[in-house]
Amino acid sequence: MELVMNIGIFVSETWGPASPLDEIRARARRAEALGFSHAWVPYLPWSLDALTAMQAAGEATERIEIGSAVIPTYFFHPLALARQAATTQAAIRRPIHLGIGCSNPAVVAMHGLPFERPARHVREYLEVLRAAMETGAKPAGDREQAGFVQYEGDFFALGSIYGTPATQPPGSILVGALGPYMLRAAGAHSDGVIATWSDEGAIEREIGPPVRAAAQEAGRPDPRIAGVVAVAVVPAARATAARDAAQAEFAFYENSMPYQRVVQASDAERIGDICVIGDEDEVARRLRRFRDAGMTDFLAAPFAIEGTDWNSTAEKLAQIEL
């Protein structure tokens, strides 16, 4: 069977200063013109709201798929997020890819919230989210007769009227996951995984197998295996210096959970080498290795360094043939 990997790109800044809406719109239009499969936005403590950014990107374009990577589950009730996602889809007139995840203990703690049993929390969140989206897509009537979502769990216990007129389920629901319990939850209860700081070896050995096994056991279709990867297309003579710059920028992730686990499981000796950095031939070689490792969706997050920026990396990346 021929392996296929879709290539998307972040249109809202992931590493540098946060993108205003006008930049998100302009980048989304450029990504569509260049032929990228999908456009992604992050949820960061210093960024604009992810769903608003998705709506801006979607309204500025016609065809390109729009996704989030990833929206923290602890910050939004699943009924509220389901309604926001349905509204965003209605506004842009096409399905979205809703990436959600538990975030990490440090970020959750900044909001004064407990970070407890994250895999269980995400599993229940997915069950409520899916039930709400299915109910909203098939209203039984008007107003309070639209539908009802009932759920009883450890984190969520609810019985609520729920309706979202003239909407449909999302294109996919993906889970940001790196640890074994979360990977199993992603495979069993969602459409796939979004991994971060995972090189080809980690995707092949640590990320893909447990997600696929859990999906198969749950009777779900083959899951999407997506990965967020920092990318810079630079001349070969500058590649080593660019990787050193990436190492200086991202080294703190090497000792930060949950990233530490997957960085240590990678073939790369340091996080700067997990990044896809090099000339067009080197970047093409790395992309093929990710594809062959089982990645279905490569989410390029351009890393701006001297001599390269979002536009130059996007243009060169779009020209690479796998």
Q: What is the pTM of this model?
A: 0.96
pLDDT in tens, 4-61: 999 999 999 999 999 999 999 999 999 999 999 999 999 999 999 999 999 999 999 9
Q: What pLDDT is recorded for position 91?
A: 96
More confident residue, 104 or 227: 227
Q: Does residue 257 surpass a pLDDT of 80? A: no
Instruction: Of 97, 84, 91, give the one whose Cα is nearest residue 41.
Output: 97
Contacts of 171 (CB under 8 A, 6+ apart): 65, 94, 95, 96, 97
Q: Is 152 helix (H, G, I), strand (E, B) or coil?
A: strand
* Tokens matching residue 55: 């709506």
Give yes or no for a contact between 58 and 96, defined as CB atoms under 8 angstroms apart.
yes
Which candidate, 298, 311, 308, places its Cα nearest to that of 8? 298
**Cβ atoms of residues 61 and 27 within 8 Å:** no
pLDDT tens column, 258-273: 888 888 889 999 999 9
